[in-house]
Amino acid sequence: MTPYSAWFAAQDDPDERYPLTEVVYYSRSGGLLEVRHDLDALRQRSADEWRRLFEGRWMRTTWPFGSGVWGKKEWVCPTVDDENIVSMFEGGTNLFWAERFGREIGVENLWIKMCGNSHTGSFKDLGMTVLVSVVRQMISEGKPIRAIACASTGDTSAALAAYGAAAGIPTIVFLPKGKVSVAQLVQPIAHGATVLSLDTDFDGCMRLVRDVTADPNSGIYLANSLNSLRVEGQKTVGIEIVQQFDWQVPDWIVIPGGNLGNTFALGKGLLLMYELGLITRLPRIVCAQAEHANPLYRAFCNDWRYEPITARPTAASAIQIGDPISINRAITMLQRFNGIVEQASEQELADAAARADRTGAYACPHTGVALAATIKLIDRGIIHPADQVVVVSTAHGLKFSRFKVDYHEHTLRDVVGQYANPPIELPAELDAVRRALDERMNARPLN
């Protein structure tokens, strides 16, 4: 028997508790629930013992601890049985030293945490492995769960469908009809999710999925962002970054923010390390928002006074959110980390992604937002040249081919593709090829 435990607690009343395997989404007062851990039990192991335990498990073959998430099982979700864990070896992604890009923008010590090099191509895998594993635990305990549902047009539905497919648990995705292409939906469709195409907008889909899952007899479990189980997996990203620096803390971690669960999760993981003595200082966190969807940025500029907005279209579609679910807990967390919020225009995010690509990264537009924010903070002298900076890349660039094609073909909305790199058309003649290459090489000599 594990001595560790965790439970849902109401944010406004820590004594209001529920088991993690209970089908419950809100506290009695209607607020979010949050996963709390028995810190006294965790403190029984010393910081050194935790580090050794985590190092010994890192990317190894003992189920389920080779996963970056489940290698920290005691900190994430100690109450799920190993045989119920649904894992695709999430986490452990490359901490890419963006050496050339860092030199270009003025910090040599720049790193990109490539969370998109994963099974479904985004960081959502980190949280979804926890949620789907807990659901499998519920089913094994006899709870009448028939399916897991979410309303999402992107990475969340892809991750939910993949983990559900691996576990043999049916999944349901609610989507606005005509607003999402099959190309955007191909992951949940391929993974056999029931995809409902509804004659409404995205908010209408969200209302419907909440209504369907609110019925305790529905047997359908809700996997949206308000479900705090996912935060427990996502919080490992910060722990991993520190571990990958041999347990040293970087000066800055920059993360793109929309619904802000990820920003909260990043801080939550780092704080747990701090409380258990694995680190003795905290990094500063930068949350980067698209200018077209910047309610947190506006709050930051207004002494943290928050007002929801109507988000405008942005290439960083996953963070096109005007009224973030995790706004309050993200603000509290950022204040704890001496945090900063910065924003990026469509031009800035697209150019930052293009520049990063030319130096070996392959940045999704959200990563572009974070990179653009980093550039601005360097230029303003807030991030210093000698600082160590980590940018969290939330998805694989392969999920955003259209964005990249449009940039390089000069058809991206609101953007001039100033780093576009069009093909050179030539006759199939050796001399013509040699001449063209000589010209190009002389214009852009070897780095």
Write out the binding residues for its own copies, residues 112-131 only, by CB under 8 A.
114, 117-121
Q: Which member of 244, 263, 343, 374 binds its own copies (CB under 8 A)?
A: 244
Identify residues 284-323 at the interface with its own copies (CB under 8 A). none
CB 131 within 8 A of CB 164: no
Angstrom distance (rounded) from CA 26 to CA 31? 5
Sign of CA dihedral 205, 318, 345, 297: positive
Q: Does 435 bind its own copies (CB under 8 A)?
A: no
Nearer to its own copies, 169 or 286 (CB): 169
Nearest to 35 by CA among 124, 131, 153: 131
CA atoms within 13 A on the CB side of 348: 18
Q: Which member of 76, 150, 185, 260 binds its own copies (CB under 8 A)?
A: 185
Nearer to its own copies, 146 or 305 (CB): 146
Q: Which span sits near its own copies by CB under 8 A: 23-31, 284-292, 373-381, 399-407?
A: 399-407
In sequence order, what are the beta bridge partners of 428? none
Cα→Cα distances 219→28, 48, 143, 195, 344, Å: 21, 43, 8, 17, 42
Q: Which span sits near its own copies by CB under 8 A: 69-77, 179-187, 288-296, 308-316?
A: 179-187
CB 106 within 8 A of CB 385: yes
For 290-411, where are the alpha helices, taking DSSP H only?
Answer: 295-301, 327-336, 346-358, 365-379, 401-408
Q: Does 200 bind its own copies (CB under 8 A)?
A: yes
252 phi, psi to nearest 5 deg: -135, 140
Secondary structure of residue 337 in the 3-state scheme = coil
State in angstroms the smallest separation of the CB of 357 from its own copies: 4
Q: Does 58 bind its own copies (CB under 8 A)?
A: yes
Angstrom distance (rounded) from CA 135 to CA 137? 5
State in angstroms the smallest separation of the CB of 158 from its own copies: 9
Q: Which member of 198, 226, 309, 325 binds its own copies (CB under 8 A)?
A: 198
Sign of CA dihedral 255, 374, 118, 257: positive
DSSP structural state of residue 423: P
Q: Which span sits near its own copies by CB under 8 A: 11-19, 228-236, 241-249, 318-326?
A: 241-249
Nearer to its own copies, 53 or 198 (CB): 198
Identify residues 335-394 at the interface with its own copies (CB under 8 A). 354, 357-360, 362
Q: Which member of 14, 192, 277, 308 binds its own copies (CB under 8 A)?
A: 192
State in angstroms the smallest separation of the CB of 219 from its own copies: 8
Q: Which member of 77, 150, 172, 255 binds its own copies (CB under 8 A)?
A: 172
Q: Count residues contacting its own copies (CB under 8 A)?
A: 94
Cα→Cα distances 200→154, 177, 208, Å: 17, 7, 10
Q: Which member of 28, 52, 60, 305 binds its own copies (CB under 8 A)?
A: 60
Q: Does 410 bind its own copies (CB under 8 A)?
A: no
CB 130 within 8 A of CB 85: no
Q: Does 79 bind its own copies (CB under 8 A)?
A: no
Secondary structure of residue 96 in the 3-state scheme = strand
Q: Which member of 15, 40, 246, 303 binds its own copies (CB under 8 A)?
A: 246
Q: Which member of 218, 320, 328, 347 binds its own copies (CB under 8 A)?
A: 218
Cα→Cα distances 151→72, 82, 204, 393, Å: 29, 29, 10, 23
Q: How many CB atoms lie within 10 A of CB 309?
A: 15
The Cα angle at residue 343 between residues 124 and 280, in degrees rounded to 5: 65
390 phi, psi to nearest 5 deg: -115, 130
State in angstroms the smallest separation of the CB of 85 from its own copies: 12
Nearer to its own copies, 195 or 226 (CB): 195
Give the tokens for residue 257. Answer: 């923010």
Q: Name the residue with tokens 């979700």.
A: 77
Nearer to its own copies, 104 or 323 (CB): 104
State in angstroms the smallest separation of the CB of 309 from its own copies: 25
Q: Which span sits near its own copies by CB under 8 A: 9-17, 24-32, 337-345, 397-405?
A: 397-405
Q: Which member of 32, 77, 131, 147 binds its own copies (CB under 8 A)?
A: 147
State in angstroms the smallest separation of the CB of 341 from its own copies: 28
Q: Does 142 bind its own copies (CB under 8 A)?
A: no
Q: Which member of 65, 111, 163, 221 binds its own copies (CB under 8 A)?
A: 163
